[in-house]
Amino acid sequence: MKKALQASLFALLFVTPQKDQVWTANIDQIRQAARMIPGRAPLRINVVKFAESRRTKNFSVKGAPAEPSVQARTAFQVVYADGYVMVDSGMDEQVHRFFGRGVVEPYDPEAAKQVERAVRGARAILVTHEHGDHVAGVIHTSFASELAPKTILTRDQVQTLETNPQMPEIKLTPERAGRYNVIDYDKYLPFGPGIVLIKAPGHTTGSQMIYVVLASGREYLLIGDTAWHMDGVRNVKGKDAPWIQEDEKPLMAQLTWLNGLYTTEKNLFIIASHDDEERVDLIKRGVLGNKLE
């Protein structure tokens, strides 16, 4: 894991640029990329929910009924024998209040502390995209100077955080951005043994999915906010939330690709960050651990 970033940058030579093309991905190429960096594969993935928003389902999935629905705020931990990588970094209660838009929503201080401890102990920290509930834990925190050297942000994520952040609390100046590990890649980026980053602009310009294959062979695809609920993947339906702006063309291509994987790849678990029903089900089935180590 120590040389993962260096090896990942070298691997950029072997990907095909995707600029000015319709978004596409190939699971076989992703699996090959996951084997490029030598080392022991990860053992398990844990998740914790530290907050939630209460919104009707029609906002998460276009055309869905306006029935009660919970959007979980989550962070993930990819555990190796000798350490772990965090995927997303949580947020403090001040940032959480932004998402309530004047409504007080549940926030679990103990779970948030669990995320804080986990990011501080991580070998590396990845973020699926540059929204506050995913990235604030490495920016709007008293530990930012400690966390920055092991946080990996993409060039697109940094550009948004500098020029058009979702909220003032996560704005980066060029000087502050320089403390983070900033990378750029065209399509896939092998990050460590069993981990591949997949460029997936649409929900935001800096969105990426993260593929993980365990030593057991079980596969995961952490899709961030490509869909807020897995019904978006199952039905190939985008969101219908007026407060967000997305690039619909690549996003629908991503949902179509994910739907194909969901239908055919029974050993691959596609995980939407905010789907609380899926989170509960996968914990119950032993696919995800329910606490951070």
Give the DSSP H/E element, type plus range, for residue 208: strand 208-213
67-80 pLDDT, tens digit each: 999 999 999 999 99
- How many other β-carbons are positioned within 10 Å of the β-carbon of residue 211? 24
DSSP label at 149?
G
39-74 pLDDT, tens digit each: 999 999 999 999 999 999 999 999 999 999 999 999
Taking the C-alpha atoms of residue 21 and residue 201, their distance in angstroms, rounded to an integer, is: 12
In our burial notation (b when 16+ CB lie closer than 10 A, e otherwise), range 170-186 reads: bbbeeebbeebeebebe
The one-letter amino acid code at 115 reads V
What is the phi/psi pair of residue 83, to 5°? 150, -170
Pairing assessment for the beta strands 70-80 and 83-87 based on DSSP bridges: antiparallel
User: Can you tell me which residue has the tokens 């008293």?
Assistant: 142
211-264 pLDDT, tens digit each: 999 999 999 999 999 999 999 999 999 999 999 999 999 999 999 999 999 999
